[in-house]
Amino acid sequence: MPSDHLNPPPRRAHMIWRRALPAALPLAAALTALVVARPAQAVPSYAEQTGQPCQACHVGGFGPQLTPFGREFKLGGYTLRTKPFNVPIAAMAVASYTHTRKDQVPAPDHLQVNDNVAFDQGSVFLAGGVGQHFGGFVQVTYDGVGRAWSWDNVDLRAVTQGKVFGKDAVFGLTLNNSPTTQDVWNTTPAWGFPYTDTAVSGTPGAAALIDGGLAQNTLGLSAYSWIDHKLYLEAGAYTTPGAGTLRWLGADPASPGDISGLAPYGRVAYQKDIGGGTLEVGAFALKAALNPGRDRTTGQTDHYSDVGLDLSWLKPDASGDTFTVDMRYVHEKAGLRASCLLALAPVNCAEVTLNEWRGTVGYNWRGKVGATVSVFAAGGTPNGFLYGGTGRPDSNGVMAQLDYTPWGAGTSPLGPRAALRVGAQFTAYGRFDGARRNYDGAGANAADNNALRLFTWVAF
């Protein structure tokens, strides 16, 4: 993609989307109002709405890793129900203890240099279905480390049923605030492992834009189809709300910047029962032009083209155990002409590539005890302006998790709403921000960021 691209007049397709996205905002508001005003048509938690225990939709009885049934529920617009009345409110909270191999200097905000006990986050959800065609959820989160409220994941859907070449199909629209939040496979960035992660210890600095870079600072509308319970097709685009709106929602309007025009997003996936389990193979892509920090003085934009491939396989057995494999690869090509001009950096700083890999294997015993191992790596074009330190984005490591979910079958003594997961994560780095040793020029080694995290995750 040329890095000297000037902002062109929007094409006809862009004009259509620019009309469609604002038009969708009243629909979202109306859906939220319906959920509040008509509690008989909506529910506070999907488990209570469907009359199914958490383990029907979630591997191990706790989200967000979805079973095939859970995928169908989400693709169907969250509309399946067996009970006529429930309050459409739910909540969750995560707390943790984190120990890193070496003290973190300086200490994270509001915390100590090591051995930190933290309230990671607390969230409130408005979640449920309205009739046969509308459903979704809106999440608001308190960041216990950053000590601030903000909007979190949003996914509002309108769906209908039909036929394609004689095969059953679902046709839907999704309005959401982060690319891949709408996805139903736990391979894409929004819902991939780890499902709860550190809010305390250091993590590598390089990441593709689609890997959370636009989360909660964009709004997108996509159309999708789910054909014969096998083929998934989606196409849509994202835009950036106004700076004042994002500040009101608790998001940083300047990070990473605002989208120039629209950012198209596409997804294709094919799912098939094979080997006694459910296999999925797919691809996804995002293309965006950003004004970094919302600055337009250079007359240029930063361009990103992200393309990803993914694969998942989920195999349950008769005893209630589940084996899962998830894999993801993302390639990003970026032209950062605007950022380089703003920083008075050399022009050759602009063209960069980044590759990310993650492979995860999990086993859940009896819907209660889970063991997961995930290997991850990133690497790409050296760039001293962008990455500092070694000037390289290369990082790799492994994360292992053990967890226990006692009430996934809906047997909590506190009632069917209550869910609990306790677990331990250990993360070990082989390379961090470009090097194994002295990656920051001040003597820090990759292994210094190795971390043990003990967590408690409750939902009700």
Domains of the chain (ranges plus CATH)? 104-115+159-459 (2.40.160)
Beta bridge partners of 422: 404, 456
Say which amino acid occupies 119: F
Interatomic CA distance for residues 124 and 144, integer angstroms: 14
Measured CA to CA, the distance from residue 380 to residue 173 in angstroms comes to 35
The answer to whether the bond into 106 is cis (omega within 30° of 0) is yes
Q: What pLDDT score does 18 carry?
A: 36
Q: What's the pLDDT score for residue 78?
A: 94
Please report the pLDDT score of residue 214 as a whole number.
98
* Residue 115 to residues 64, 96, 112, 147, 379, Cα–Cα distance (Å): 28, 10, 7, 19, 30
**Cα 359 to chain center, whole Å?**
16
Q: Which residues contact 405 (CB under 8 A, 6 or more apart)?
A: 60, 61, 62, 367, 368, 369, 370, 419, 420, 421
CA-to-CA distance for 338 and 259, rounded, in angstroms?
13
User: What's the confidence (pLDDT) of residue 48?
Assistant: 78
Instruction: Give the pLDDT confidence score for residue 165 in this predicted structure.
Output: 95
State pTM to two decimals: 0.88
What does 86-137 look like in DSSP terms, one character per residue?
A: ---EEEEEEEEEEEESS--SSPPTTS-SSSEEEEEEEEEEEEEEETTTEEEE
Residue 232 · residue 282 · CB < 8 Å: yes
pLDDT at 45: 53
SS3 at position 59: helix
- The helix/strand/coil state of 429 is strand
Query: CA 167, CA 145: separation in Å to the nearest integer?
Result: 49
Model pLDDT, residue 389: 84
Are 374 and 399 contacting, i.e. CB atoms less than 8 angstroms apart?
Answer: yes
Euclidean distance between CA atoms 98 and 199, whole angstroms: 9
In the chain, the amino acid numbered 228 is D
What does the pLDDT profile of the chain (460 residues) look like in tens digits? 333 332 333 333 333 333 333 333 333 333 333 333 332 222 235 777 888 888 889 999 887 999 999 999 999 999 998 877 677 889 999 999 999 999 998 998 889 999 999 999 999 999 888 889 999 999 999 999 999 999 999 999 999 999 999 999 999 999 999 999 999 999 999 999 999 998 899 999 999 999 999 999 999 999 999 999 999 999 999 999 999 999 999 999 999 999 999 999 999 999 999 999 999 999 999 999 999 999 999 999 999 999 999 999 999 999 889 999 999 999 999 999 999 999 888 767 889 999 999 999 999 999 999 999 999 999 999 988 888 889 999 999 999 999 999 998 888 898 878 889 999 999 999 999 999 999 999 999 999 999 999 999 998 8
Determine how many CB atoms are found less than 10 A away from the CB of residue 20.
Answer: 14
Report the distance separating Cα 40 and Cα 31, nearest Å.
Answer: 14
